[in-house]
Structure 1
Amino acid sequence: MGSGLPGGRGMRVAVVGGGIIGLAVGADLLRRGADVTVYDPAPDGIDGAWHVAAGMLAPGGESVFEFPRLEHLLDASNARWPEFAAGLGDVGYDDAGTLGVALTADDVTEMAREWRHQKLSPLTGSQLREREPGLSPRVRAGAYAPDERQVDPRRVVAALRNVLHGRLVPRLVDDVSALDADAVVVAAGCGTAALTGLPIRPVKGQVLRLRGEPGLLTHVLDGAADGRHVYLVPRADGEVVVGATQEERTDRTPTAGAVHDLLRAALDLVPGLAEHELTEVTVGHRPGTPDNAPILGRLRDGVFVAAGHYRNGVLLAPITARLIADLVLTGTADPIIDDFTPGRFGCA
């Protein structure tokens, strides 16, 4: 590996990891004149967390309660998404907003914490059904978040792969010091732990995809039904993504219990989904850290990390790309990155 000194045009940068984060970082570096190579054992594969992700761009979710300083980063990235999506073409970007919904009184109590934090005005069940007629008459209350959006991560990855065409190398990297580059960015998701020693763990998530006639839903739904949290993300072509479990497990086995719980919650909120075809059950692993916030910054001379995004990898892709590209090319870190450096886990 080279010295890793900040360069610019022509600087040779190796990106390890071809998921949505690694590709976004690579594309930003390429646009700014770096000579980029992205290493991924399956550069045309579907093994990453992005393949399972629903693509909700929701900066006001529960993550901010776990790590309050994450909120500013989430908001900053959400603001960058319209331009980021426009630069990639048709990636399923939709800004109709999100409806938070609650079925029972206990569900209202659970969901109201997020609505208050986002300073959203409460809506009655009838007001919700005016916006989304497919909602069950049992839905009691909710709120509308107009600044939340959605995108199709599979389309985003395809578009980023196209940007980086000819620079994707099918290689499993097990030693970053062996790479011939001026700088290395490790963005290998859960695989980052083995390459860097950083505390990143896999968190299993099971997600369903349904398909029916388009138009049953026009907003993303983020809700609770009899104590079961669920989100529903409708696509323009009639697909509805339903998710997701959170399991501290490493296996990739889809389970009947998870499918049952997700479907029950979804049908309780939107009964019309009963006529949809169940087309896919997918299992993936979110890369989680001890505080469930991402790891962004310099690990050591010439080696940088962009990993551990947990539930927010899709949302944080644009801001991660800019922050890491800035740091690699100029040697200077934006202060917004200070709370997310590897050093908070005792890594310099």
Structure 2
Amino acid sequence: MMSKRIAVVGAGVIGLSVAWRLARAGHPVTVVDPAPGTGASWVAGGMLAPVAEAGPGEEGLLEIGSASLECWPAFADRLRAEAADPGLRTEGTLVAALDATDAAELDTLADHLSGLGRPVRRLSGRELRALEPGVGPGVRSGLLVPGDLAVDNRELLRALRKAARDRKVEFIAAAASAVRGGAVVLTDGSIVDCSTAVVAAGAWSGALHPALAGLVRPVKGEILRLRARPGALPPPRHTIRAVVESRPVYLVPRSGGELVLGATQYEAGFDTEVTVRGVRDLLEGAERILPGIGEYALTECAAGLRAGSRDNLPLIGEVEPGVLVATGHHRNGLLLAPITADAVLALVEGGTHPAARFRTEGTT
């Protein structure tokens, strides 16, 4: 029976993906969010890179990320057919290093991935520049991760909202203050009745149910958006992840000559102001990798709050009868959207899913 409505609290990439997946399966869905399609999902870089981002000790994250990556081409195809093109890119990721210390970190990553049987190719600085001529002469080595993908996060959010609306998903533009079995309580005291509530409110999830208290925290990240001006070198074709004096920076190309820079990360509570230090660090690091971006236009500076968990793995599962949670995705919300949506659907319909593991102490 699918007559009872499901309420999804949160309309970032996770909430919208869950709502669309449930609606596609025939469930009536209501989404509760004061500003759908904004927040951390709006200011994300768009990397779908479980291999390039994997490090020693994060084998669980690599496993779930790789499984979700395999779902992405079909996920994008369905969105394209139902709503709009989310801008999926398949060129892969280049990982670049400047000095000997940075190169040693890449060697460690390459050895780790090779030991796990993941495809990765070591590159000299010259080989990197053969693939991306805009890479600066100071870059001494790198890695090519051919299987990684990237997506235009803003086109993805627009497509998900359209696909959900076309599937008759109801949107309530309000904030939730609490979630319990059979109901979502709004900040004005009104109630949204439902058979099942899904908490997918990102960094704000921890305040919505007692079982989530202390398990989800905000992790601030800043991004810059640039645009190639006439006469400037075009953006790279590949996503480029770099380690510059032990500081990470990523450069993700967009259509129309745009480039997204990111990778700052702070424990700063719910602060969403962009800092001078954050902008400076991103520009300095990126310009050492791609010197030509000094001629680009700086079109946007923004900050968002990732939903951090204790072990960087997402929290997906049942917290009480009638209440499911899908949050704590940290920097992997876009990557894990397809598998999270599938997991929530399985739980709603009384089944199980390998990704559905709600942990109260940071363990499975």
- Pair in the same fold by TM > 0.5: yes
Q: Which residue of 2 aligns with 1:194?
A: 207
Inter-partner Cα distance in structure 1 for 2:259 and 2:228: 8
SS in 2 for 1:69: helix
SS in 2 for 1:137: coil
Equivalent residues of 2:55, 2:109 under 8 A apart? no
Q: Which residue of 2 aligns with 1:243?
A: 262
Higher RCO (Cα < 8 Å, 6 or more apart): 1
Inter-partner Cα distance in structure 1 for 2:295 and 2:110: 31
1:185 aligns with 2:180: no
**Distance change >3 Å, CA 211–CA 107, structure 1 → 2:** same
Inter-partner Cα distance in structure 2 for 1:168 and 1:255: 33
Inter-partner Cα distance in structure 1 for 2:362 and 2:137: 48
Cα deviation per residue 1:140-163 (whole Å; 9 max; x = unaligned)? Answer: 111111100100111111111111
Inter-partner Cα distance in structure 1 for 2:256 and 2:285: 22
Cα deviation per residue 1:193-225 (whole Å; 9 max; x = unaligned)? Answer: 001231110011111111115833110001112
Q: Percent identity?
A: 43
1:105 aligns with 2:100: yes
Cα deviation per residue 1:154-175 (whole Å; 9 max; x = unaligned)? Answer: 1111111111225111121213
**Distance change >3 Å, CA 216–CA 164, structure 1 → 2:** closer
**Distance change >3 Å, CA 294–CA 63, structure 1 → 2:** farther
SS in 2 for 1:246: coil
Q: Which residue of 2 aligns with 1:305?
A: 325
Read off the aligned partner of 1:188 and give its amino acid letter: A
**Distance change >3 Å, CA 40–CA 138, structure 1 → 2:** same
SS in 1 for 2:302: strand
SS in 2 for 1:138: coil
SS in 1 for 2:335: coil
Q: Which residue of 2 aligns with 1:4?
A: none
Aligned pairs (5 A) from 1:244-283? 244-250=263-269, 251-283=271-303
Q: Which residue of 2 aligns with 1:34?
A: 27
Cα deviation per residue 1:40-88 (whole Å; 9 max; x = unaligned)? Answer: 1123x63x11011010000114455353222211001000111111112
Q: Which residue of 1 aligns with 2:188?
A: none
Which TM-score applies when normalising by structure 2?
0.88
Which TM-score applies when normalising by structure 1?
0.92
Which deviates the most, 124-133 or 205-214? 205-214
Equivalent residues of 1:64, 1:70 under 8 A apart? no
**Distance change >3 Å, CA 335–CA 244, structure 1 → 2:** closer
Residue 223 of structure 2, aligned match among 207, 227, 231: 207
Q: Which residue of 1 aligns with 2:152?
A: 152
Which deviates the most, 107-116 or 200-209? 107-116
Equivalent residues of 2:343, 2:354 under 8 A apart? no
Inter-partner Cα distance in structure 1 for 2:311 and 2:355: 17
1:169 aligns with 2:164: no
Q: CA deviation at 1:228?
A: 2.2
Residue 13 of structure 2, aligned match among 4, 11, 20: 20
Equivalent residues of 1:66, 1:291 under 8 A apart? no
Equivalent residues of 1:135, 1:269 under 8 A apart? yes
Inter-partner Cα distance in structure 2 for 1:106 and 1:167: 52
What's the C-alpha RMSD, in Å, of the aligned pairs? 1.8
**Distance change >3 Å, CA 336–CA 200, structure 1 → 2:** closer
Number of aligned residue pairs: give it.
Answer: 335
Equivalent residues of 1:99, 1:221 under 8 A apart? yes
Equivalent residues of 1:215, 1:236 under 8 A apart? no
Q: Which residue of 2 aligns with 1:320?
A: 340
Equivalent residues of 1:62, 1:114 under 8 A apart? no
Read off the aligned partner of 1:124 and give its amino acid letter: S
User: Structure 1 segments of 4 or more deviating over 6 A?
Assistant: none
1:221 aligns with 2:240: yes
Q: Which residue of 1 aligns with 2:111?
A: 116
1:56 aligns with 2:51: no
Show structure 1 runs of 5+ residues with no match: 1-6
Show structure 2 runs of 5+ residues with no match: 115-119, 184-191
Q: Which residue of 1 aligns with 2:354?
A: 335
Inter-partner Cα distance in structure 1 for 2:147 and 2:363: 36
Inter-partner Cα distance in structure 1 for 2:278 and 2:261: 11
